[in-house]
């Protein structure tokens, strides 16, 4: 999302009545150089790549490939206590009236069944920057101007920079632990998920972060997802930073999982699955991230994980699976995109729960009726 209304306002650099414009480009087939301040082009018939040099008059150029882009020139210098100088990025959805080809955004959160994502970055040393996966939401189906909610996923942070606001705790999402920051820049609210160390590539469901933001009361299911973007916020330097590849879809419709075939139960004592159960606990609740691995020799086509929660624990929301609870019994079923587990493959889902009394974890898990080992 264009950053003048985000960080320039926060840094006191946005003049009253300033006009933000987007220069629309063509379609990149061979490598395309973009040096225009807000120049953009489309790739893959689905995504928009933008230079988005909003915070400096100094030159910045990007080289757009068929799958992403790299920064080839970045002359701006920003104060590490203030705002970055730009946000060169690739996106799907609508950004200041510039909509990616064939996008189904904006769409209400309650109508999204999944948002599978994949990103691969190239990092450099000697520069000050963050690598940010940005998710924008608004109460209205907004296609222009600033949205009210920004989710930032910081996969890498280099130098003495920090997200907007202050730390509010940790979250376990997409099989990883994130430091969570929350604040406002005066124009929109921001929740940032900061990785403790650099993540060069990641595949995940963006809905996991949207659901966590919803569970924190920052948005509701009636809000609209307007765009999802991936790129860099450089403060100083950054030549060579690249998005090698980017894939983002937003699937709408029901969340009914695929029907699993009859399960073949392995002989007792020969579990064909393992479960890792990771939690983040506070005084009256917790989040759980559950990683299921197929340790057998046959592919699992459709899975159902069952277990019992300790007394006093009640699930209030979930992501990456359809999770239901009856008394203490929990049933988690795959969604349409993560039902197949080849031998050695893993998938993760998670949920948030309320809690009374002391915290403890489930004692056992079964996948399609077969007991799993705990790891």
Catalytic entry in 150, 205, 212, 289: 150
Tokens, residue 161: 């920079």
How many residues are there in the chain? 375
Q: Active-site residue 233, yes or no?
A: yes
In a 10 Å sphere around its CB, with 0-12 CB exposed, 13-18 middle and 19+ buried, how is residue 294 labelled?
A: buried
Q: What does the DSSP 8-state code read for residue 27?
A: B
- Give the CB-side neighbour count of residue 99, counting CA atoms within 13 A: 12
Distance CA 117, CA 246 (A): 8
Helix (H, G, I), strand (E, B) or coil at 167: strand
Distance CA 229, CA 48 (A): 9
Q: Which is nearest to 364 in space by CA: 309, 288, 304?
A: 309
- Checking DSSP bridges between strand 149-158 and strand 189-194, what pairing results, if any? parallel
Q: Active-site residue 179, yes or no?
A: no
Q: Answer whether 152's CB lies under 8 Å from 191's CB.
A: yes
Instruction: Please list, in sequence order, all residues whose beta carbon lies within 8 angstroms of the beta carbon of residue 64, skipping any fewer than 6 positions away.
Output: 28, 31, 32, 33, 34, 41, 43, 49
Catalytic entry in 134, 138, 233, 289: 233
CA 130 vs. chain centroid, Å, equals 15
Q: Which is nearest to 282 in space by CA: 356, 179, 173?
A: 356
β-strand partners of 292: 275, 347
Distance CA 223, CA 93 (A): 15
Distance CA 231, CA 193 (A): 15
Distance CA 141, CA 318 (A): 24
Residues that are catalytic:
150, 233
């Amino acid at each position: 999302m264009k950053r003048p209304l985000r960080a320039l306002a926060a840094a006191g650099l946005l003049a009253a009545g300033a006009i933000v414009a987007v220069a629309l480009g063509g379609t990149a087939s061979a490598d395309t150089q973009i040096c225009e301040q807000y120049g953009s082009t489309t790739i893959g018939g689905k995504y928009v790549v933008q230079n988005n040099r909003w915070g400096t008059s100094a030159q910045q150029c990007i080289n757009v490939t068929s799958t992403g882009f790299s920064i080839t020139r970045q002359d701006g210098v920003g104060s590490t206590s203030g705002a970055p100088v730009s946000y060169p990025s690739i996106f799907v959805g609508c950004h200041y009236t510039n909509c990616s080809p064939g996008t189904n955004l904006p769409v209400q959160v309650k109508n999204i069944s999944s948002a599978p994502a994949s990103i691969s970055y190239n990092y450099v040393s000697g520069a000050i920057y963050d690598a940010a996966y940005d998710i924008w939401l608004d109460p209205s189906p907004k296609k222009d101007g600033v949205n009210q909610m920004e989710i930032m996923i910081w996969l890498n942070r280099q130098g003495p920079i920090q997200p907007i606001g202050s730390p509010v705790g940790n979250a376990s999402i997409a099989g990883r632990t994130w430091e969570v920051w929350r604040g406002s820049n005066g124009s929109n609210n921001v929740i940032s998920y900061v990785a403790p160390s650099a993540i060069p590539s990641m595949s995940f469901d963006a809905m996991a972060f949207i659901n966590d933001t919803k569970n924190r009361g920052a948005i509701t299911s009636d809000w609209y997802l307007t765009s999802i973007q991936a790129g860099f916020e450089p403060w100083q330097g950054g030549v060579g930073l690249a998005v090698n590849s980017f894939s983002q879809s937003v699937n709408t419709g029901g969340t009914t999982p695929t029907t699993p075939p009859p399960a073949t139960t392995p002989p007792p004592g020969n579990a064909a699955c393992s479960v890792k159960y990771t939690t983040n606990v506070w005084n009256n609740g917790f989040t759980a991230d559950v990683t299921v691995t197929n340790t057998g020799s046959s592919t699992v086509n459709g899975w159902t994980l069952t277990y019992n929660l300790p007394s006093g624990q009640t699930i209030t929301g979930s992501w990456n699976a359809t999770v239901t609870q009856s008394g203490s019994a929990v049933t988690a079923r795959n969604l349409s995109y993560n039902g197949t587990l080849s031998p050695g493959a893993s998938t993760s889902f998670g949920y948030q729960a309320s809690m009374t009394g002391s915290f403890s974890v489930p004692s056992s898990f079964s996948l399609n009726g077969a007991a799993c080992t705990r790891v």
